[in-house]
Structure 1
Amino acid sequence: MTNRVLNTLMERAEEIRALGPVNERLGRLEEPAVKALRDSGAIRMLQPRTYGGMEAHPREFAETVMGISALDGSTGWVAGIVGVHPWEMALASPEVQREVWGDDPDTWIASPYAPMGVARPVDGGYVFNGRWQFSSGTDHCDWIFLGALLGDTDGKPVQPPAGLHMVLPRRDYEIVEGSWDVAGLKGTGSKDIIVRDAFVPEHRALPFAKVISGEAARESGLDDPVYHVPFSCMFPLGITAAVIGMAEGALAHHLAYQRDRIQITGTKVRDDPYSLYALSEAAEEIATSRIRFLDNACRMYDTVAAGGEVTFAGRAAGRRAQVRAAWRAVQAMNEIVLRSGGNAMRNDNPIQRFWRDAHVGLAHAIHVPGSVYHASALTDLDIEPPQGPMRSMI
């Protein structure tokens, strides 16, 4: 299939690549990088057609994020994170969709989804309070998804916990300046968010249980299969694609840098069988990460497109594939970056930036393997996995 969005962005590849150090110094995306994403339609790839979106195949979206991330990690990360939000907004009430996109279909939506706030029920909606970290690309967004725990009338989380995704306009939350001071992905501007006693009407609250079970997609009436792919596949899609793309970017710069490099021993890298062995192995591992990750998304899509439903075991295996793809790509990248020589660590060498960005991306909660591997192993053994956290995000 022809990926018109990616092709459009590749026409601006040199510009996006050159903006990498600028984004990092600013601590957010420079406006030309934002404009490149807006002009290409990258953030509207998973948006419904009724609001100017493309309803793109998950593979096409992931390939686009990989391509951007191989040019600049921060730009790709924002494209991956912000670009997934229209997918969930398509599952929300028609009323909130009109509020967000009615005047401008290019309106961007931030997050985070971590349930760090409490929503206290009141007449017509909720009173909402909380503080969240890691709102990537938030400076460029006018609305936000925020994770919440449903509270009781006293504002204490109910038991057992019940999660909500709350949708708020920019006027109802505060972006905390200076809260993003990190080793990598500096240009993503993933700042803290504070909400104080905001009223959120009922139609702007989406029960997380309905999202992850697929019930929200079924109730939405949307026919396109992309909206019936499990949340546990779609939510990590842009994040893991960005990390793999960063590894691909590091590999491309490593190849260019090593081509004529002479090591301190006087040996050309091209004549060093050990370096060449490591290079070939890493290149294949990164390529395998891409293939396995994309294949997993395609399998999910094909299942729902054929009218089927992805089982818990299938979702667990899919999360395992996604997590392992990210770790495999970063571990392979380490093998070549650590053989790039000391000059690769200079700030004017893009290799070190890709290296830092990919490691910070790998630290995202969606890449923590423990509970995912635990659940997928038990399902492979035909044993019911435990309830609670071991099922989280599966």
Structure 2
Amino acid sequence: MGDVLDKIMQHADEIRAGAAEGESLMRLSDTTAKQLRDSGVIRMLQPKEYGGLEAHPREAAETTMAIAALDGAAGWVAGIVGVHPWELTFFDPKAQEEVWGQNNDMWMASPYAPMGIAVPVEGGYILNGRWSFSSGTDHCGWIMIGAAVGDKDGKRTGKVLHVLLPRSDYEIDQDSWNVIGLRGTGSKDLIVKDAFLPEHRTLDSEIVMSGNGWRHAGRDETLYRFPFSCIFPLGITSALIGMTEGALACYIAVQKERVQVTGVPIREDPYVLFAISEAAAEISAARVSLLETVDRFWDKTDRGEEVGFEERAIGRRTQIAAAWRAVRAMDEVFARAGGAAVHVKTPMQRFWRDAHVGLTHAIHVPGTIYHSAALTQLGGDPQGPFRAMI
């Protein structure tokens, strides 16, 4: 699967240069989107029967990190949009054919949050709602979004679906994305009005989140038996770590020739040298800890063993801690970068903004996950919201 990364790196300078254009457009440039599409990065977790690579999640994560180190927004889109083919594998074959039948490179945007209501009708549902934070949505022909099932009066019943809609069935609010970081992701709002949703384009969210998607779909490949609570956050956190690696690389490149106001070259300042090494070590540790969890879960899944709740909770704790660890390390070098780093023309400030905005994603909130991981290790049994996304 290294050829995907090779294709990305062949266009590294163009992707890096395109980041500023993406910020201005508030979406990925058409050129950057095409380079991602042509590389096959979005097909890394896609089934082989539809042109996918069925790659090891580690390879997908490392590729996302490399992209994000060039352009944080491009890495973010690759990480988020790249997980949707994995889940589409669990949908009705008719839905898969609708999305991929004519184009194996069809992209799907999200989000999974049930921001809209699906009211049952004959043959399916009528869907209405507004969804925020649909990353990469301008370059996608379908969406895979969360929807609460409503009763005949539209009142939520408690059941949540993941549903598929083609581009003709929703509107993108082009004025809904004007933010301080990850501007190039184009994570805009989606509006759905009275769209008919056939039953075959729906999937009970609990089937996926419980780790039973592969059973539901009759698949036995290791990739599709892999825990949802590990693979879903993986692309997001990988992108975040890649951004901090990009920021560190920018910092080091500038510091090589920088002379402080005291006349002392940076490379002769022992305090700055210490800060560089400490930050580099912390970002590296964040990367390694994230990937180690993926490797361990993969090996266990491949042996036909279940990854239990405690392991998954600790894995999520590790993933969240990796994100915070990498961003804190990036902050240490940014604070020592000098005034030049704050100029909009320098890429370091964009990596810094993108990473901080990426850290606000719900998947990086430590509260309930840290609670559940510790409680489980102490012999407790977390319930309700403390089991969510684990």
Do the structures match in fold with TM over 0.5?
yes
Residue in 2 that maps onto 1:59: 58
Q: CA deviation at 1:218?
A: 1.3
Residue in 1 that maps onto 2:84: 85
Deviation per CA, 1:31-75, whole angstroms, max 9, x where unpaired? 110111111101100000000000000000000000000000011
Q: CA deviation at 1:211?
A: 0.3
Residue in 2 that maps onto 1:340: 337
Deviation per CA, 1:366-394, whole angstroms, max 9, x where unpaired? 00000000000011111111x22111111
Where 1:164 maps in the other structure, the secondary structure is strand
Please give the alpha-carbon distance, in whole angstroms, between the structure 2 residues aligned to 1:58 and 1:23: 27
Residue in 2 that maps onto 1:103: 102
Please give the alpha-carbon distance, in whole angstroms, between the structure 1 residues aligned to 2:37 and 2:310: 37
| Aligned residue type for 2:338 | G
Please give the alpha-carbon distance, in whole angstroms, between the structure 1 residues aligned to 2:311 and 2:215: 19
Identical-residue share of aligned pairs (%): 59
Residue in 2 that maps onto 1:11: 10
Residue in 1 that maps onto 2:323: 326
Residue in 2 that maps onto 1:233: 230
Please give the alpha-carbon distance, in whole angstroms, between the structure 1 residues aligned to 2:361 and 2:183: 14
Q: CA deviation at 1:255?
A: 0.5
Q: CA deviation at 1:192?
A: 0.3
Please give the alpha-carbon distance, in whole angstroms, between the structure 2 residues aligned to 1:59 and 1:73: 19
Q: CA deviation at 1:156?
A: 0.4
Q: CA deviation at 1:115?
A: 1.0
Where 1:384 maps in the other structure, the secondary structure is coil
Please give the alpha-carbon distance, in whole angstroms, between the structure 2 residues aligned to 1:302 and 1:122: 44
Please give the alpha-carbon distance, in whole angstroms, between the structure 1 residues aligned to 2:373 and 2:237: 18
Residue in 1 that maps onto 2:26: 27
Which of 260, 273, 276 does residue 279 from structure 1 map onto?
Answer: 276
Residue in 1 that maps onto 2:346: 349
Please give the alpha-carbon distance, in whole angstroms, between the structure 1 residues aligned to 2:161 and 2:384: 16
Residue in 1 that maps onto 2:305: 308
Structure 1 segments of 4+ aligned residues over 4 angstroms from their partners: none
Q: CA deviation at 1:223?
A: 2.5
Where 1:21 maps in the other structure, the secondary structure is helix
Residue in 1 that maps onto 2:111: 112
Q: CA deviation at 1:265?
A: 2.2
Q: CA deviation at 1:163?
A: 1.4
Where 1:103 maps in the other structure, the secondary structure is coil
Where 1:214 maps in the other structure, the secondary structure is coil
Where 2:112 maps in the other structure, the secondary structure is coil
Deviation per CA, 1:70-99, whole angstroms, max 9, x where unpaired? 000011111111111100001111010000
Where 2:323 maps in the other structure, the secondary structure is helix
Q: CA deviation at 1:217?
A: 1.3
Please give the alpha-carbon distance, in whole angstroms, between the structure 2 residues aligned to 1:123 and 1:101: 26
| Aligned residue type for 1:173 | Y
Please give the alpha-carbon distance, in whole angstroms, between the structure 2 residues aligned to 1:20 and 1:220: 39
Residue in 1 that maps onto 2:190: 193
* Residue 368 (structure 1) aligned with residue 375 (structure 2): no
Aligned residues of 2:286 and 2:325 also touching (Cα < 8 A)? yes
Please give the alpha-carbon distance, in whole angstroms, between the structure 1 residues aligned to 2:259 and 2:97: 60
| Aligned residue type for 2:372 | A
Q: CA deviation at 1:361?
A: 0.6
Residue in 2 that maps onto 1:251: 248
Question: Normalising to structure 1: TM-score of the pair?
Answer: 0.98
Residue in 2 that maps onto 1:39: 38
* Residue 163 (structure 1) aligned with residue 175 (structure 2): no
Please give the alpha-carbon distance, in whole angstroms, between the structure 2 residues aligned to 1:216 and 1:153: 28
Aligned residues of 2:316 and 2:369 also touching (Cα < 8 A)? yes
Please give the alpha-carbon distance, in whole angstroms, between the structure 2 residues aligned to 1:267 and 1:92: 62
| Aligned residue type for 1:215 | N
* Residue 202 (structure 1) aligned with residue 199 (structure 2): yes
Residue in 1 that maps onto 2:146: 147
Residue in 2 that maps onto 1:221: 218
Which of 262, 287, 301 does residue 290 from structure 1 map onto?
Answer: 287
Please give the alpha-carbon distance, in whole angstroms, between the structure 1 residues aligned to 2:257 and 2:313: 45
Residue in 2 that maps onto 1:122: 121
Please give the alpha-carbon distance, in whole angstroms, between the structure 2 residues aligned to 1:163 and 1:3: 37
Moved more, 264-273 or 104-113: 264-273
Please give the alpha-carbon distance, in whole angstroms, between the structure 2 residues aligned to 1:214 and 1:186: 33
Unaligned runs of at least 5 residues, structure 1 = none
| Aligned residue type for 2:69 | A
* Residue 176 (structure 1) aligned with residue 173 (structure 2): yes
Unaligned runs of at least 5 residues, structure 2 = none
Where 1:393 maps in the other structure, the secondary structure is coil
Please give the alpha-carbon distance, in whole angstroms, between the structure 1 residues aligned to 2:211 and 2:360: 27
Deviation per CA, 1:253-295, whole angstroms, max 9, x where unpaired? 1100111111122221111111111110000000000000011
Question: Normalising to structure 2: TM-score of the pair?
Answer: 0.99
Q: CA deviation at 1:148?
A: 1.1
| Aligned residue type for 1:392 | A
| Aligned residue type for 2:228 | F
Which of 242, 265, 268 does residue 268 from structure 1 map onto?
Answer: 265
Q: CA deviation at 1:300?
A: 1.3
| Aligned residue type for 2:359 | L
Q: CA deviation at 1:315?
A: 1.0
**Equivalenced residues, count:** 390
Please give the alpha-carbon distance, in whole angstroms, between the structure 2 residues aligned to 1:316 and 1:371: 10
| Aligned residue type for 2:109 | A
